[in-house]
Structure 1
Amino acid sequence: MNFRKPTPIQQAAIPVILENHDLIACAQTGTGKTAAYVLPLLDRISHAKHDHTSTLVLVPTRELAKQIDDQIAGFAYFVPATSIAIYGGNKGESWDQQKKAITSGADIIIATPGRLIAHMNMGYVKFDKLDYLVLDEADKMLDMGFMPDLLRIVSQLPVKRQTLMFSATMPPKIRELARKILQNPTEINLGISKPAEGIDQRMYLTYDKQKPKLLEHLLKDLTVQSMIVFTSRKSAVNDIARILQKMGHKAEGITSDRTQEEREATLQGFRNKQFQILVATDIMSRGIDIDNISHILNYDVPQDAEDYIHRIGRTARAATTGTAITFINEKDQGRVVRIERLIEREIPKLENPEDIGPGPAFEPNKHRESKPRNKSNSKNKPKTRSHAAKSPDQPIRKPNATARVESKAPKINPEIGAERPKKPFEPKKRNSKRRGPKPEGQSQASDTNTSLKTAEE
């Protein structure tokens, strides 16, 4: 497989794994993290006589599960080890095949958390003898909301096991998860949140309506072997693909809405150079290893700064070079500042070509000022709803709420009206009196009426 010498993450991680220590390893994408844990675990499996599933690898996406399974098949060509990828989106026979592999005790299971939980709910998943647990792309799994599923799966595993966690970034939530499931782990940090040095990064200041023309202009001047165009909106994938096709380029889109067979066929066609440009969302930004991607184009700026690193990390893999181009509209400029702060460098910002027209000026402070106000307003809304939800339980607020309802509604409860010692209640007169100043003698009667209705309710 043309592995001549270990990458830095492999050189650091393999001895730790062979010494049976728990590990939390962080390294930039494209540095060989998969081989860093697959090779030593295969070495362990080859010298053991397991009659059960010894290794569970959890990953965030179907594509990554399939890719790791393929890599294990290559690494284990001369090793008596079996593996299977377990993920959703397949036909019915795939479920039966996955069930058979689980119950027969495949040596290595690579699974997405949701699909594995579905099998566990059927009652035949037994991991009571599991030896090794691997969490690959752990930060992405947490971003996708898999924390409850991960904790549920871990609760079904033996306490005595070796746990390995690999991640491209190290946010606080990753350390929180590590404290829960790892025991005295060794930590390896190599180039955290840094793109590969071989990536030429550029950004263009452009309005959304100018993006198709700018894309066409750039593709005329660039020598593109293969390109991935990323967008944050799933609904935009097919639109961008059609724009590229009208320009005369061979392009296809891939989204989570497609069946797994369609997604695998699209990826295989891209790998085989059947088409030049792949349009995708961030499902393609993590762990997918495709050779010779010369260009990455961000049609919009990703919401999270870390996702920018993962997107452009699809190029310049294994010490090669590549180009990453990002389109910035007037609303995304604040995100650019966060990206530059994360990677600790300023990215060149270029203006549109003359035939396209000027784009927006780079004024990130102007747009960043409006965001905190929106956030604060959104934070206040739940508090108001929560406060209102609790108010009926508070005896002081309940009469007031009732009084407000009475003042708006012309109808009254006839049972309460029958209990009044004086003349029947007349809604119109009461409403008109409530709008103006109350006579001194009437205030007590109104309060009495409100209390009576509250007591009846």
Structure 2
Amino acid sequence: MSEDERPKRRRIRSPSPAKQDDDDDENYVPYIPIAKRREEKLAKLQMWGVRSGKDRPKKPEEEAAEREDAVKEEELLREKSRKERTLLLEAQQVHMKKAVEDSKKTADQKAEEADAEILEAIKSRRKLASDLELAQGIRYSDPLESSWRPPQFVRDRSDEKNQAIREKYHILVDGDDVPPPIESFRDMKIPEPIVQFLRANKINSPTPIQLQGIPAAFSGRDIIGIAFTGSGKTLTFCIPLIMLALEEEAKMPFVQGEGPVGIILCPSRELASQTFDNIVTWCSALAQSGKYPQLNCVLCIGGISMNEQSRALNKGLHIVVATPGRLIDMLEKKRFTFNNCKYLCMDEADRMIDLGFEDDVRNIMSFFKRQRQTLLFSATMPKKIQDFARESLIKPILVNVGRAGAANLDVLQVVEYVKQEAKMVYLLECLQKTPPPVIIFSENKNEVDDIQEYLLLKGIEAVAIHGSKTQEERQYAIKSFKSGAKDVMVASGVASKGLDFNDIQHVIIFSMPKEIEDYVHQIGRTGRSGKTGIATTFVNMNTPEQTLLDLKYLLMEAGQKVPPFLTSIDDPRQAQGLSVQGCPVCGGLGHGISNCPKLEETQRRTMAAHRTTDTGGY
């Protein structure tokens, strides 16, 4: 293609700058922000709505809706105002209100409220009941039925007469439909062989705890029994169990695999062995008469071979006396069951629940398959344990002979200030006060061994018992001491709970325990069954002042001589205008719950257990 034939390009000229500026001025539209445009549009719509409906009257529905909107708007404003108030302001107002209320209360009222808060904080997790009952919500409203009835003349006795008998023996009772007290074993309908056996052992009439406690137990009632040491509590809960076992055996003789009818739990092996020996003796007295069948009893405690009990286990089983650990082992191995067990007694119940046995007791409860009669006995049962027991038992009867935690009035208490380095020498002088046998208590296991060694060097026949001894050593010590082969027994707290030794005239407390409960149990090894005894206690600067104050009030309550160094100790509560009341946790009169040594020790053990768990046991 030639150059002439090619299409020629046309040049388009751009408008001149001056002309372009003129066009932009004519077509220019100013920029309006989108928010402002929306506001203008909304204003136009509102104007249109007003114009379109300004002459139209409102309907009732619209007026109601407007009123409802106004109410809602007012509520929102109030809610907004409430939320805008600071938490600090509210806290200040609550504090001011509480301060005004507190200013109107007395010191005693404030102390009671503080104690109530602490009690609520340490309240047990749940009551004593089997897992089946807790899971299915089973609640028993009525006590177990019993076939026992008191004699007609006792039933005909008026309530005023019954109350006069209780006042005569200083018995306090609490509960609904309390059975009448009975002042004779025969009138209680106890079998004649047992009555004759008791008479042969110079037990002619029931003690105060027995004359009210045994009829209540015979009636099938749950019992909280409180009485000073040596008052006959063991007979009170053992005789009803023996009678119940006799009744069940008479209905249908027991064969292998059946039973037991009842269980008695004890906190220590020594106490369990002693209770077992008593029950076997009473059952043998019944069987030897030829009128009653032989009852089979089993002792379940650690440190002994259960092969020794195999003879009884191979027959029908009526009664079991046990410590918690070995009993759980036997139940888990199914050596026997609680399918037909309907009697449970805990001796030294406050120690059972407090000193690390609570979980074991709950575990034991889970093996019960039916309703049971529950009895709790102790010389020291603080308010905390009493309240807990009331929640766990069914219409319980509280039988109280004297104040819970009070000392035995048949014991002469002598408190002497002895320097630590002079204790051993002065101990020999104290042993000259009375003839043997004598018990010496110390809280320290090493000290127990040191005292025994010192006495042996001085030519005194002495044995020692504490928790680190083997079961054979502990049994030998108790057997030789009871038989009179040994004159002195040196013991830790393990021998202070419930053990009964014949004719102990003197107890020496080498080191004063921190908890006043332990002191009450220790001095209670003498002055038993109506006899008198002496308790000599060594104290010095190492004894906490709070413990000395508890001791001072205990001596005053029992009408004992208070030495000058105890009299000089002032109670800080009196300086604050507070009244002197017993601690609800341990029963001590010299302190409140806020500074209770027993509660502090329990918390210390709990914290130690948590630390052991957190560190994997190291």
Residue 193 of structure 1, CA deviation: 2.0
Secondary structure of the corresponding residue to residue 296 of structure 1? strand
Give the Å deviation of 1:223.
2.5
Report Cα offsets for 1:262-307 as digits up to 9, x if no partner: 2111111111111111000111111111111010000011121111
Partners of 2:603 and 2:277 lie apart in 1 by 45
Q: Percent identity?
A: 32
Whole-Å separation in 2 of the counterparts to 1:264 and 1:194 = 30
Matched AA of 1:168: A
| TM-score, structure 2 as length reference | 0.55
What stretches of structure 1 of length at least 5 have no aligned partner? 352-359, 387-457
1:42 aligns with 2:256: no
- Give 1:58's aligned amino acid: L
The total of aligned residue pairs comes to 369
For the pair 1:131 / 2:342, whether they are aligned, the reply is yes
Shift of 1:136: 0.9
Are 2:223 and 1:17 aligned? no
Pairwise CA distance, 1:184:
0.8
Identify which of 118, 124, 131 aligns with 2:329: 118
Deviation at 1:366, TM superposition (A): 11
Q: 1:5 aligns with which of 200, 205, 213?
A: 205
Paired AA for residue 208 in structure 2:
P
| One-letter amino acid matched to 2:221 | H
> 1: distance between equivalents of 2:603 and 2:219?
48
Alignment partner of 1:75 out of 269, 274, 282: 282
How large is the RMSD of aligned CA atoms in angstroms?
3.1
> Cα distance 1:146–1:173, how it changes in 2: closer, same or farther (>3 A)?
farther
Asked if structure 2 preserves the Cα contact closer than 8 Å seen for 1:205 and 1:362, the reply is no
Which amino acid letter does the alignment assign opposite residue 429 of structure 2? H
Cα displacement (A) at 1:173 = 3.8
Query: Contact 1:57–1:135 at 8 Å: present in 2 too?
Result: yes
Check the 8 A contact 2:229/2:379 in 1, yes or no.
Answer: yes
Matched, 1:196 2:401: no
Does residue 281 (structure 1) correspond to residue 492 (structure 2)? The answer is yes
Confirm or deny: 8 A CA contact 1:27 1:190 kept in the other structure. yes
User: Aligned pair in 2 of structure 1 residues 53, 119: CA closer, same or farther (>3 Å)?
Assistant: same
Q: TM-score, normalised by structure 1?
A: 0.74
Per-residue CA distance 1:56-93 (angstroms, 9 max, x = gap) = 11000111111111101111121421112110012xxx
**In the TM superposition, what is the alpha-carbon distance from 1:104 to its structure 2 partner?**
4.5
Relative to structure 1, the CA distance from residue 322 to residue 83 in structure 2 (aligned partners, 3 Å threshold; closer, same or farther) is: same
Superimposed CA distance per residue, residues 221-247 of structure 1 (whole angstroms, 9 cap, x where no aligned partner): x12221100001112111011122222
**Matched AA of 2:382:** P
**Retained in 2: the 8 A contact 1:204–1:349?**
no
Is 1:228 aligned to residue 430 of structure 2?
no
Determine the structure 2 residue equivalent to 1:267: 478
C-alpha contact 1:28 1:195 (8 A) present in aligned 2:
yes
Indicate which of 248, 258, 270 corresponds to 1:63.
Answer: 270
Structure 1 segments, 4+ long, off by >6 Å, are: 360-363, 366-369
1:218 to partner: Cα distance? 2.5
Provide Cα deviations, 1:172-206, integer angstroms capped at 9, x if missing partner: 34224413531111110112322222211111112
Distance 2:278 2:475 in 1: 16
- CA spacing shift, 1:113–1:173, aligned 2, 3 Å: farther
How far apart are the structure 2 equivalents of 1:87 and 1:198?
32
Q: Which amino acid is 2:212 matched to?
A: A
Q: Which residue of 1 aligns with 2:147?
A: none
The equivalent position to 2:382 in structure 1, one of 164, 168, 171, is 171
Cα deviation, residue 160, structure 1: 1.2
Comparing 252-261 with 41-50, which one deviates more in the overlay? Answer: 41-50
State the Cα distance separating 1:145 from its structure 2 match: 1.1
**Retained in 2: the 8 A contact 1:315–1:322?**
yes
- The separation in 1 between residues aligned to 2:354 and 2:552, in whole angstroms, is 21
Contact map agreement 1:315 1:321 (CA 8 A) in 2: yes
Alpha-carbon offset, residue 167 of structure 1 = 1.3
- The answer for unaligned runs of 5 or more in structure 2 is 1-196, 287-291, 573-589, 611-618
